[in-house]
Amino acid sequence: MPGGMAMAYVFEFTWILQYAPVLLKGIAVTIALTAVGAGAGLALATLCAWIRTQGPRWLRVPVVAYVELIRNTPFLIQLFFIFFGLPSAGLRLGEMQAAMLAMVVNLGAYGAEIIRAGIEATPRGQVEAGLSLAMSRLQVFRHVVLGPAMRRIWPALSSQVVIVMLGSSVVSQIAAEDLTFAANFIQSRNFRSFEVYFVVILLYLALAVILRQALRLAGERLFSRGRAQ
Amino acid sequence: MPLIAITDVRKRFGANEVLKGIDLDVAAGEVCAIIGRSGSGKSTLLRCVNGLETIDGGSILVAGTHVSSEDQQLRALRLKVGMIFQQFNLFPHLTAGRNVMLSPMVVRKMPVGEAEDLARRMLDRVGLGQKFDAYPDQLSGGQQQRVAIARALAMQPLALLCDEITSALDPELVNEVLAVVGELAADGMTLMMVTHEMRFARQVCDRVVFMHQGRIHEIGPPDELFSAPRTPELRQFLGSTAH
Amino acid sequence: MIEFSTWDILRNLLLAARWTVLLSAVAFLGGGLAGLLVLVMRTARRPLPRRFALGFIELFQGTPLLMQLFLAFFALSLVGINMPPWLAAGLALVLWTAAFLAEIWRGCVEAIPRGQWEASASLGMGYLEQMRHVILPQALRIAVPPTVGFSVQVVKGTALTSIIGFVELSKAGTMITNATFQPFTVYALVALLYFVLCWPLSVASRFLERRLNAPHRHH
Ligand SMILES: Nc1ncnc2c1ncn2[C@@H]1O[C@H](COP(=O)(O)OP(=O)(O)O)[C@@H](O)[C@H]1O
Ligand SMILES: [Mg+2]
């Protein structure tokens, strides 16, 4: 009788000690994935944002297509396509490589939109002033436009990085050994499903809070010098 | 008994004491102008009377009941005292008529038909009977402010608090609003109004209150205050307002 | 192995996509209603409901949706409810959607000038009356574009329910892949179908936003 079982259920958390190494490894993998995804993803995003706003015209269409395609399909499917689908097109990736690639591609598209909005909010006079000082378009972008644009959209970009970190939990589905994978592993051993997922969800919450703070501090550092007016 | 009795009212924002013990009684039917430099606490005083700010000391009684921060009492108070703001604060998603009808229907549970009649009467009273179906952004600033007055009047308040209600208006629109206020005063409405329109204050008000640094610095009938200011602060203030 | 033509694959995926649409609609509508409740608590004057709403939002925005799905699935099994995947999926998605919509809408509520609160308060309205008649009607107008935009996230979010065994578009993709061994084609088609569902919503959101920002009248 299920009702009686529910009454008799006793919560059990002693397993945490036993499985601490598994959890720690999962956390490390999640952090590593997020770091790579954020670093390379933001680089890709900046490139795409540059192409969309001032890059060569013939490149804009593919970039728009990429951004729209990624933003309008689930990360899970992107991951499956990369990991399961690409091998038949000749590209075979390990689960960590596939997970990283998926995260970079995903953040690249979202970041591109955010950074583009920041760039487009640049006052026209800034660009004209730069050009009038005989800078090239690329130089104006690098030295005049990008810094203030990044400062403007840093909060939005930070939230997107947190979203990508949380979204990375699905890489467990291609057996990349992240924190969610660790949770699945532990609960398959001790059958304490509720407690395991409860603890792991709190770990994610802590990671999100810490990551958000770290990004805020990083933003303050990055943009404290040369603060415009 | 005064309609509004303000006794030793104190209000601070953090370390900044904005009202430093205000005593003021306003009788029913009295028109009271509050003048003073920007930052002297005029708005804060009005907002305390309407319970938009909670006071840190002293007491405010309106028609015998205390202004408190307790929700039920606060709402009862606001049925007695209406407020008109510098920025009009009309509800932009409602027509002029609906702006006036809303509170009688929602708060007083008045049926639609009755509320509509009331709204038409109130809009007529401020000279805007024909603007019943206009939205706020289709009206001039002066017209918007008159709708705001009609909206407050629809709640049949015992007193109206007016905070610089012509300050946001283009100069040519000021008089149409002042004319409405003048009529209200003539009809016996109790008014506490913060204003920079010295000529109007002189003509219409029974009493003028000069506030300075969170205190009532001078108070008296307009003729006395304007023609024979006793303190250098008031003299300087009147000199600077170029009248 | 059964022979599947591309058309067979597409047809099966289309059938499964109905469940994606249905689940998205349920999550969006249920989440919208629950979100409204969270919003009212989040903007309440009393600290208790405000803190509860804050915690709720933090919990659902600060943790992976996948974990929420797992937890819903196992938590309800724990109290003896025999949890069908669709129920766990629906529950988790509704709560997740509610948290995000409440936060989006809070931004819209806070964009309403303080004078609107003060004017309605000075007319004797209570908190709920102010919300109902003055604040929400204005906030809803500016909330439409980001709300439509978020519906895209909801549709994509439903893909995760495949992991706890709800058979929708993504799960069908995996099942068909296992039967056909054509992951490239199948997942490309799955992605295409999601795109067909999501892209119009994205476009609509952008269009609405542009229209809102254009010079306008309120009617
Ligand atoms: N909400 C508030 N928070 C902090 N300080 C305030 C607030 N409202 C008013 N003040 C301060 O109180 C003082 C008096 O303001 P106010 O009553 O608006 O003056 P007045 O209407 O005479 O110009 C000013 O110094 C102002 O900065
Ligand atoms: Mg003022």
Q: What's the maximum distance between 2 C-alpha atoms anywhere in chain A?
A: 81
What pLDDT does residue C114 have?
Answer: 93
User: A191 phi and psi, to 5 degrees?
Assistant: 60, 15
Look at B79 and C124 and tell me if their CB atoms are within 8 Å: yes
Lowest mean pLDDT among A28-32, B74-78, C127-131, C169-173: B74-78
Tens digits of residue pLDDT in C97-115: 999 999 999 999 999 999 9
Mean pLDDT of B208-221: 94
Percent of chain C with pLDDT over 70: 96
Helix (H) or strand (E) holding C109: helix C85-110
Q: Between the ranges C72-76, C78-82, C174-178, where is the mean pLDDT highest?
A: C174-178
B186 touches chain C (CB under 8 A): no
Domains of chain C as residue ranges with CATH:
6-218 (1.10.3720.10)
What pLDDT does residue A133 have?
Answer: 80
Which residue minimizes the CA distance to atom 20 of ligand 1? B39
Cβ burial of B76 (10 Å; 0-12, 13-18, 19+) is: middle
3-class DSSP assignment, residue C85: helix
C65 touches chain A (CB under 8 A): yes
Residues facing B210 on adjacent strands: B35, B218
DSSP code of residue A86: G
- Which chains would you list as touching C if contact means 3+ CB atom pairs under 8 Å? A, B
pTM of this structure:
0.82
What pLDDT does residue B242 have?
Answer: 53
Q: Report in angstroms the alpha-carbon separations of B132 from B97, B99, B101.
A: 5, 9, 10
What pLDDT does residue A130 have?
Answer: 80
What pLDDT does residue A229 have?
Answer: 37
What pLDDT does residue A4 have?
Answer: 44
The residue of chain B nearest to residue C215, with distances taken between CA atoms, is B137
| Summary mean pLDDT of chain B | 92
Mean pLDDT of C25-42: 95
**CA–CA min distance A136, chain C (Å):** 32
CB A174 within 8 A of CB A95: yes
Residues facing B19 on adjacent strands: B11
Alpha helices, DSSP H, located in B21-108: 42-49, 71-80, 96-106
Mean pLDDT of C163-187: 91
DSSP code of residue B188: T
Q: Which residues of A touch C174 (CB under 8 A)?
A: 80
Domains of chain B as residue ranges with CATH:
4-241 (3.40.50.300)
Mean pLDDT of A168-180: 93
| Summary mean pLDDT of chain A | 89
C-alpha A2/C-alpha C78 separation (Å) is 9
CB B94 within 8 A of CB B36: no
Domains of chain A as residue ranges with CATH:
29-168 (1.10.3720.10)
Q: What is the ipTM of this complex?
A: 0.91
Using alpha carbons, select from B188, B189, B165, B187 the residue that is nearest to residue B177: B165
Using alpha carbons, select from B134, B238, B222 the residue that is nearest to residue B185: B222
